[in-house]
Each structure stands twice: as structure tokens, then as C-alpha cells.
């Protein structure tokens, strides 16, 4: 690597070219390779502000936010008047729920770039998180004044107005975002979900129908239209819908669930394990089935001699790696993965994943193949109560709810004996409790 703009030999590249290569790796989520290249650049040019800034972003993306902040602060010390460094420093603090430091970073960036609609939009999101609604509203209005076509500011204003109960106002902003960029999914998704939360399921279905007419192959449009209309309902959420949804959700997943939805499923599953396993001594081969960002991992690691995680979303797996507790992580469809690992697991745990399956027959059969005789299966599903003979039902939010008798039948057919089923609140949604079944079963010998 050279310090000029021309290569000396075919094997050497300039700093500029190395930085371009690192950024490409970074954009493709090849974070380890990007970080290595940033560090090599800094070996040659220790005070390269762009490399320091981007290294900090890569470290944050792999779960090392404190190191990332330190690297970005070094970049700021070298180039204090570049607003982008302050913007991304604020984004990291905001992602870590350190709103005071995030606000300081955004305000400094605004001093340097007072005409930035992006900064006002981000500041509005902070104010919304702190329930400083009027300040948030003013920040979004300023973002839209600076850039009348700012898609995120329109969507975020809609979310804020929904928080305040101004559903009509929210719908106005979502419709405007659809006008601005008809092919962008966020406005349509938010508009449809707003109608859903109002109980206007037919209107939600119409939003998704129009979207589906324009984009017949869009996974969210197709699945959510089925969920709201009851037409062409699949037996489980399609793989491309799950991948699409959770790859986009991965970076904000833990903040959304823990801070806003009072998410309890991982802790409930861990507590259920504690009731049906001996004291933890790292003695079992354990699978976190639908591991997501790895929220269950630290809770079940004490029982795990081997801890595997499987998920369909690459973005989720990238975050799970940062927990540092998984022996192996696999990107795969869950039923097929279990079917192809016969007798491999002493314990399989699945928190808030089976709600994306309707008919559980195939999945339970695969679990019966995968769990060793005498092994334990623990999972949650959303509860379909007073179901009569109905085994499961798709909900307008795109997930499935299950009748207790469907769980008992599919478990028995797959070779499991039920140990315990309890009715629990899994999380809050729209201010209301989401009730589910927490289940433990033992594979018959």
C-alpha cells in the first residue's frame, strides 16, 4: 500500500483505492474484511480521518460501540468541522439509547451544517424516543421545510402523530411519502399498519392490495395482503418475507423489542429451562432456533457445552455474532435445518419464532428428528384462545396464533411428552398485552 495516488507494483494499491475497497466490503456487510483494510490504511497513515471514522462505524456494527466511539472521536479531533463525523457519532449514541450524548453530537453537526434535513430528521427521532413530542414535531417540520421530498421525515412525522393519537394526520404523511416514492415500501407498510392498529382491517387490506397490484412479487405486500384479507393464506410466512423483514429490522431489533415492546420471551424461555433442566454446568448441546440478534444466547449459555444458533436473516446473524456466546451460527430455514441434523441437540429453544409458522406439523416433526431421546424442547407461540376446532389463524399483523390443542397434538405426533404449558404475556403491542403459550416438552426415549 502506498501513500500516493498511483500504484508502484501490480500488488500494491494507493490509500484512496484501499479505502474504496474497504468501503465496498463495509457496504456488503463483510465487516471483518473491511475492518482489516481500515487498520492497514491506518498503519500507513495513522491520522487518516476517514479511515478512523469508518473503522469506528465497523466496530460499532460488530458490537464494539465504545471502541467505535473512540475511533470516531479521534477522527473528529483531526477534522472537527466535518458534520458527517458528528452525525454518525450521534447515530451510535442514539442506537445505544444515550440520548444526551446523541443530542450533543447532532447539535454540533447542525452548527456545521444548519441546512441538513437529515440532521433535523435524526434529532426528531431522538425527541420522539424521549416523548418530547412538540420538539420532535418541530424538528420533522424543519426537515421537511429544508427538503420537501424527505421520505424518512414524512414517515417519522406519521409515527409521531400516531403516538399522539392523530391518526388522520399520520395517514396524511404516510400518503405523502407514497406519493414521493411509490416504489419505496416504508410508507405503504406504515399506512397499512396504521389502519390495522385502528382496527380498520379492510382499509389495511386495500393498502396492501394496491401495493401487490403494483409489485406482485414483493414479499411484504403479498404476505400482509394475505394476513389482512384472509385470501391465499400460506401455511407459514414465506422465507423471502422473513428475510426481507428481519434484514431490515436487524439494526433496531433489540431497541424496539426491549425498550418499546417490553419483550419477555427470551427470559420466559430461560426460566422454563431452569424449571426442567438440572443446574447449569455447560453440559448440553443446545440450539437457539430462530436466534435473531442473540437475545437468548447469554441466558442459555450457562447450560451449553455447545451453543448453536440458526436464523433465516443474515442481518440478525451478524448481530448474534457480537454476543460472543455462540459456538456456531447457521443461516438456514428452520424446518429443513432441524430435519438435516438428526439426533444432534439435547435442548432446542425457540423464543418468538414459531409465530411465523401456521401449521406446526412439519416443524414439530423435524424437531422430533433433531432432539435426542430424553432431550428438551422449549418455545413460545402467540395464543389462539376460544379457538374451537381451529388449529391456528393468521393475524392482521402477519404472525400466526395457535390453539393449545394444536400444540399438544403436533408435539405428541412428533414423539414429545408435554411437561408444561403456561399462558404468558410475551410483550406489549399498541399498549396491549400480547398473550402467548410458553411450552416445555420432553422427547420420548
Identify the sign of the CA torsion 42, 45, 49, 51: negative
Q: Using one digit for the tens of pLDDT, what is the confidence trace for 232-249?
A: 999 999 999 998 888 776
Spatial separation of the C-alpha atoms in residues 103 and 136, rounded to whole Å = 12
Residue with cell 439426533: 343
Whole-number pLDDT of residue 114: 94
Q: pLDDT band for position 7 (50/70/90)?
A: very low
Whole-number pLDDT of residue 8: 42
Residue 420, classed as helix, strand or coil, is strand
Q: Kindly tell me the burial class for residue 216, based on how many C-beta atoms sit within 10 Å of its own C-beta (0-12, 13-18, 19 or more).
A: exposed
Q: Using one digit for the tens of pLDDT, what is the confidence trace for 378-389?
A: 999 999 988 789
Check: CB of residue 237 under 8 Å from CB of residue 356. yes
Looking at the chain, the domain(s) classified CATH 3.40.50.150 span 248-443
Q: Given a cut of 50, is residue 427 above it in pLDDT?
A: yes
Q: Using one digit for the tens of pLDDT, what is the confidence trace for 101-112?
A: 999 999 999 999
Span 319-325, average pLDDT: 90
Q: Using one digit for the tens of pLDDT, what is the confidence trace for 386-425?
A: 878 999 999 999 999 999 999 999 999 999 999 999 999 9
Residue 37, classed as helix, strand or coil, is helix
Looking at the chain, the domain(s) classified CATH 1.25.40.10 span 1-80
CATH topology of domain 1-80: 1.25.40
Check: CB of residue 406 under 8 Å from CB of residue 354. no
Span 260-269, average pLDDT: 87
Check: CB of residue 355 under 8 Å from CB of residue 382. yes
Span 91-96, average pLDDT: 87
- In CATH, the number for domain 248-443 is 3.40.50.150
Q: Given a cut of 60, is residue 315 above it in pLDDT?
A: yes
Helices (H), 114-150: 117-129, 133-146
Q: Give the whole-number percent of the chain exceeding pLDDT 70.
A: 94
Q: Is the pLDDT higher at 258 or at 194? A: 194
Whole-number pLDDT of residue 252: 62
Residue 279, classed as helix, strand or coil, is coil
Q: pLDDT band for position 254 (50/70/90)?
A: low
**Which of the residue ranges 197-206, 322-331, 429-438 has the most confident prediction, judged by mean pLDDT?**
322-331
Q: Using one digit for the tens of pLDDT, what is the confidence trace for 135-183?
A: 999 999 999 999 999 999 999 999 899 888 888 899 899 989 888 887 7
Spatial separation of the C-alpha atoms in residues 90 and 69, rounded to whole Å = 10
Q: Using one digit for the tens of pLDDT, what is the confidence trace for 27-78?
A: 988 999 999 999 999 999 999 999 999 999 999 988 898 999 999 999 999 9
The closest of 29, 96, 37 to 68, measured between CA atoms, is: 96
- The Cα-based distances of 352 to 36, 65, 87, 289, 401 in angstroms read 36, 27, 34, 10, 11
Span 73-93, average pLDDT: 95
Q: Kindly tell me the burial class for residue 48, based on how many C-beta atoms sit within 10 Å of its own C-beta (0-12, 13-18, 19 or more).
A: buried
Give, to the nearest 10 degrees, the angle between helix 167-180 and helix 185-197.
160
Q: Using one digit for the tens of pLDDT, what is the confidence trace for 278-310?
A: 999 999 999 999 999 999 999 999 999 999 999
> Which run of H or of E encompasses 331?
strand 328-331
**Which of the residue ranges 199-203, 227-231, 271-275 has the most confident prediction, judged by mean pLDDT?**
271-275
Whole-number pLDDT of residue 249: 63
Neighbouring CB atoms inside 10 A of 347's CB total 22
Q: Given a cut of 90, is residue 214 above it in pLDDT?
A: no
Amino acid at each position: 500500500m502506498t501513500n500516493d495516488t498511483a500504484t508502484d507494483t501490480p500488488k500494491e494499491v494507493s490509500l484512496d483505492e484501499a479505502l474504496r475497497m474497504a468501503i465496498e466490503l463495509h457496504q456488503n456487510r463483510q465487516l471483518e474484511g473491511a475492518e482489516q483494510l481500515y487498520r492497514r490504511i491506518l498503519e500507513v497513515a495513522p491520522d487518516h480521518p476517514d479511515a478512523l471514522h469508518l473503522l469506528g462505524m465497523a466496530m460499532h456494527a460488530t458490537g464494539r460501540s465504545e471502541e467505535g466511539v473512540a475511533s470516531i472521536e479521534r477522527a473528529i479531533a483531526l477534522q472537527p468541522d466535518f458534520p458527517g463525523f458528528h452525525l454518525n457519532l450521534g447515530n451510535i449514541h442514539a442506537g445505544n439509547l444515550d440520548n444526551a450524548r446523541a443530542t450533543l453530537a447532532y447539535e454540533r453537526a447542525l452548527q456545521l451544517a444548519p441546512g441538513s434535513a437529515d440532521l433535523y430528521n435524526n434529532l426528531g427521532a431522538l425527541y420522539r424516543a424521549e416523548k418530547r413530542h412538540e420538539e420532535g414535531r418541530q424538528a420533522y417540520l424543519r426537515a421537511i421545510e429544508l427538503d420537501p421530498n424527505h421520505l424518512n421525515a414524512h414517515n417519522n412525522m406519521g409515527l409521531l402523530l400516531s403516538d399522539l393519537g392523530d391518526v388522520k394526520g399520520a395517514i396524511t404523511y404516510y400518503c405523502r411519502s407514497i406519493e414521493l416514492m411509490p416504489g419505496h415500501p416504508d410508507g405503504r407498510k406504515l399506512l397499512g399498519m396504521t389502519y390495522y392498529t385502528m382496527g380498520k382491517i379492510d382499509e389495511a387490506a386495500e393498502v396492501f392490495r394496491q401495493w401487490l397490484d403494483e409489485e406482485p412479487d414483493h414479499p411484504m405486500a403479498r404476505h400482509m395482503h394475505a394476513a389482512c384479507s384472509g385470501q391465499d393464506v400460506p401455511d407459514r410466512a414465506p422465507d423471502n418475507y422473513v428475510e426481507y423483514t428481519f434484514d431490515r429490522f436487524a439494526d433496531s431489533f433489540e431497541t424496539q423489542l426491549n425498550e418499546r415492546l417490553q419483550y419477555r420471551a427470551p427470559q420466559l424461555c430461560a426460566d422454563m429451562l431452569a424449571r426442567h433442566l438440572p443446574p447449569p454446568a455447560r453440559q448440553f448441546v443446545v440450539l437457539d432456533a430462530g436466534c435473531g440478534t442473540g437475545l437468548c444466547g447469554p441466558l442459555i449459555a450457562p447450560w451449553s457445552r455447545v451453543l448453536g444458533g440458526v436464523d433465516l436473516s443474515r442481518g440478525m446473524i451478524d448481530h448474534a455474532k457480537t454476543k460472543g456466546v455462540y459456538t456456531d451460527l447457521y443461516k438456514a430455514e428452520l424446518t429443513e435445518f432441524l430435519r438435516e441434523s438428526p439426533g444432534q441437540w439435547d435442548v432446542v429453544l425457540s423464543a418468538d419464532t414459531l409465530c411465523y409458522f401456521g401449521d406446526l406439523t412439519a416443524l414439530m416433526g423435524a424437531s422430533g428428528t433433531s432432539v435426542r431421546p430424553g432431550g428438551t424442547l422449549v418455545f413460545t407461540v402467540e395464543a389462539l384462545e376460544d379457538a374451537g376446532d381451529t388449529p391456528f389463524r393468521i393475524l392482521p399483523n402477519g404472525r400466526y396464533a395457535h390453539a393449545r390443542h394444536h400444540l399438544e397434538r403436533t408435539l405428541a405426533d412428533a414423539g414429545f411428552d408435554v411437561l408444561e404449558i403456561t399462558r404468558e404475556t410475551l410483550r406489549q403491542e399498541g399498549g396491549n398485552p400480547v398473550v402467548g403459550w410458553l411450552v416445555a416438552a420432553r422427547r420420548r426415549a
